[in-house]
Amino acid sequence: MPEPLIALDWGTTRARAYLISESGEAVQKRLADQGIQSVPAGGYPAAFEALAGDLRRAAPEAAIVLAGMVGSRNGWVEAPYVACPASPEEIAAAGIAVDLAAGTRATILPGLSCDDGAFDVMRGEETLVVGLGLADGLACLPGTHSKWAEIRGGRITRFASFMTGEVYGLLRNHSILARLAEEPSGEDARDGAARGLAAAARPAGLLNAAFAARTEVLAGRMSGGAVGPFLSALLAAQEIAGAQALFGRTGRIHLVADGILAESYGAALAAAGIEVAVTAPEAAFIAGVRRLAAGLAR
Amino acid sequence: MPEPLIALDWGTTRARAYLISESGEAVQKRLADQGIQSVPAGGYPAAFEALAGDLRRAAPEAAIVLAGMVGSRNGWVEAPYVACPASPEEIAAAGIAVDLAAGTRATILPGLSCDDGAFDVMRGEETLVVGLGLADGLACLPGTHSKWAEIRGGRITRFASFMTGEVYGLLRNHSILARLAEEPSGEDARDGAARGLAAAARPAGLLNAAFAARTEVLAGRMSGGAVGPFLSALLAAQEIAGAQALFGRTGRIHLVADGILAESYGAALAAAGIEVAVTAPEAAFIAGVRRLAAGLAR
């Protein structure tokens, strides 16, 4: 049943293209800056050709699946959100077929919506969550707009977004704290992270705790290099506390991250007494898109 | 005992100068953009002359008191922070005398520091808090960096800063929400404020609740004009909740604000079931600087 697959994670600013073998190995992959915001109207077949035309020629029989913002209102064709709770089969069934230049078909995967008190949406992350293959659990996907998703009985039951990465950038680079912030040394990174986690544990909340980065530096108690790591740890801890308040405390989190985000969220989760299972985003995407491709009508 | 007083609230970007009569009336006042950041080294006597020279000629016997960032490391002369708890008498006693061009003396008031777990400072706001004349109470001074101050037995026992106004500006004007935000109508203002207060009551915290402004607009449930009022109400409510967690729940708050901040904080405090006593910042400053001037060594 498994067969080769060409899969694109096609976001707003970037695209990743993979040729995935029958056995699930990414035999070719590439990253391009050609996100949907750089694709002109009607330009998607040509943009696909530029991104993955050689992959298609290498595996002409491969199914082609496109995930992410390519299915948004501002993308190629809008693939309407599937409302939670949603199973992998329900997500796959809502894929939208499009024709590529050569007449070959591709499927655009939908995103998910959730109306659990607050209305929320995701597009692209659902594929990574599916890739975790969980029957029950809680997944954390940190980033510019982090997503947390709850899985029950194999379905994504609800999820929530957090503006963590974006607020980090605003505070680190555009607030009064930016004037004090310097490039961190290794020692700064450790000290700032420890102070940020401690600040998050104080009762007065983010708006108060972030200001401490300023007063601690002005008082000579913290280096300017620690400001960024302080904010990063503070914000990760605030996000984790918010997610726990929303989804309930859990002893184990599935963290979809690599590099510095895996480190900082791993440390913040450990500080909160939570066990962490880490999956790299690429591995989660490949597993998820294979699972969803297997459920597509062919 | 009371005598005429020339008082300046001299901040980073602006200065306010008052000639205050024996009876406490601001008989003359002016506002200038000549904050300390526009005063060159050695330029303070001349800057004072430009701001208030005519007030001094009108009342040559008046005491002269300068409050705010003029007493910071980047101001005229540094008036070191007085550590909390601090009484009005202790604040006045820490004033620093400076000579004006004509040989007339002026007093620069100090700021306050607080080391209640987190280190924090204020400079200028202490004068407004003193002006409330409280024996016991909790004061809220909303702004770019809001201050909350606890008063016990006539002394300022501790205080905390919140980056509320600054974070509002960053989210409203520089985040992904800025693209959706429009000028609010009256209806937008009411709807956005109600939604922002409701969002603040949800459990997942600020990083999650702010994102709802985006999803609600994209889903067609909220107008772009409501984004600013939504954020304003959400942030005020988060600040209030944080201050309550820090200082304990209280049935009554002394709010030092006017205009739109008095309205938005008044509404957020009322929604939290808190009674509000409002004092305009100018009235609080005049009362506070008179009280502190009376305690100065002459």
pLDDT in tens, A31-45: 999 899 999 988 999
Phi, psi of B203 (to 5 degrees): -80, -15
Q: Is B85 exposed, middle or buried (0-12, 13-18, 19+ CB in 10 A)?
A: middle
CATH of segment(s) B5-132+285-294: 3.30.420.300
For residue B298, is pLDDT > 80?
A: no
Class of domain A164-279: alpha beta
A202 and B CB contact within 8 Å: yes
* Architecture per CATH, A5-133+284-294: 2-Layer Sandwich (3.30)
Over the stretch A238-291, which tens digit does the pLDDT of each residue have?
A: 999 999 999 999 999 999 999 999 999 999 999 999 999 999 999 999 999 999
Nearest CA in chain A to B242: A204
Q: Give residue for tokens 């956005």.
A: B192
Hey, are the CB atoms on B119 and A238 less than 8 Å from each other? no
pLDDT of residue B117: 80
A162 and B CB contact within 8 Å: yes
Instruction: Give A199's contacts in chain B (Cβ within 8 Å).
Output: 118
CB–CB of B150/B159 below 8 Å? yes
For residue B94, the 8-state DSSP code is: T
Instruction: Give A176's contacts in chain B (Cβ within 8 Å).
Output: 145, 163, 166
CA A175 vs CA A96, A103, B163, B296: distances in Å: 43, 51, 9, 37
Q: Is B261 exposed, middle or buried (0-12, 13-18, 19+ CB in 10 A)?
A: buried
The pLDDT-based confidence of A152 (bands split at 50, 70, 90) is very high
Give the separation between CA B286 and CA B294, rounded to whole angstroms: 12
Nearest CA in chain A to B241: A204
Find which of B171, B211, B234, B235 to mutate to test the A interface (most A CBs within 10 Å of its CB).
Answer: B211
Domains A5-133+284-294 and A164-279 share a fold: yes
Phi, psi of A218 (to 5 degrees): -65, -30
Q: Are strands A96-99 and A26-32 parallel, antiparallel or unpaired?
A: unpaired
B120 and A CB contact within 8 Å: yes
Closest of B260, B262, B285, B282 to residue B128, by C-alpha: B285
At what angle are helices A186-200 and A206-218 packed, to 10 degrees?
A: 140
Q: What is the predicted ipTM?
A: 0.94
The pLDDT-based confidence of A297 (bands split at 50, 70, 90) is low
- The whole-chain average pLDDT of chain B stands at 95
- % chain A with pLDDT above 70: 98
Looking at the DSSP bridge assignments, the partners of residue B105 are B99
At what angle are helices A186-200 and A227-247 packed, to 10 degrees?
A: 40
The mean per-residue pLDDT over the stretch B214-226 comes to: 95
The pLDDT-based confidence of A1 (bands split at 50, 70, 90) is very low
Instruction: Give A175's contacts in chain B (Cβ within 8 Å).
Output: 163, 166-167, 170
> How distant is the alpha carbon of residue A57 from its chain centre?
30
Contacting residues for A187 by C-beta, under 8 A, at least 6 apart: none
Give the separation between CA A232 and CA A265, rounded to whole angstroms: 9
Give the separation between CA B119 and CA B137, rounded to whole angstroms: 21
Give the separation between CA B178 and CA A275, rounded to whole angstroms: 37
A166 and B CB contact within 8 Å: yes
Over the stretch A172-216, which tens digit does the pLDDT of each residue have?
A: 999 999 999 999 999 999 999 999 999 999 999 999 999 999 999
For residue B62, is pLDDT > 50?
A: yes
Closest of B236, B205, B37, B175 to residue A247, by C-alpha: B205
For residue A298, is pLDDT > 80?
A: no
A119–chain B nearest CA distance, Å: 6
Q: Are strands A155-162 and A252-256 parallel, antiparallel or unpaired?
A: unpaired
For residue B1, is pLDDT > 60?
A: no
A201 and B CB contact within 8 Å: no
Hey, are the CB atoms on B241 and A166 less than 8 Å from each other? no
- The whole-chain average pLDDT of chain A stands at 95
For residue B101, is pLDDT > 80?
A: no
A291–chain B nearest CA distance, Å: 28
Over the stretch A47-58, which tens digit does the pLDDT of each residue have?
A: 999 999 999 999
For residue B12, is pLDDT > 80?
A: yes
Give the separation between CA B242 and CA A243, rounded to whole angstroms: 18
A82–chain B nearest CA distance, Å: 14
Over the stretch A82-133, which tens digit does the pLDDT of each residue have?
A: 999 999 999 999 999 999 877 789 999 999 999 988 899 999 999 999 999 9
pLDDT of residue A116: 84
Residue with the larger pLDDT of the pair A76 and B1? A76
Hey, are the CB atoms on B246 and A212 less than 8 Å from each other? no
- % chain B with pLDDT above 70: 98
Closest of A174, A148, A170 to residue A159, by C-alpha: A148
Q: Give residue for tokens 């008044």.
A: B266
B83 and A CB contact within 8 Å: no
Q: Which of A208, A241, A246 faces B160 most closely, judged by CB atoms? A: A208
Q: Which of A119, A163, A204 faces B160 most closely, judged by CB atoms? A: A204
For residue B56, is pLDDT > 60?
A: yes
pLDDT of residue B297: 57
pLDDT of residue A3: 83
* C-alpha Rg value of chain B to the nearest Å: 21
Task: Name the amino acid, one letter, at B211.
Answer: F
- Give me the residue spans of the domains in chain A: 5-133+284-294, 164-279
pLDDT of residue A2: 58
Q: Following DSSP, what letter does each residue of B244-271 receive, concatenated? A: HHHH---SEEEEE--HHHHHHHHHHHHH
B220 and A CB contact within 8 Å: no
CB–CB of A64/A6 below 8 Å? yes
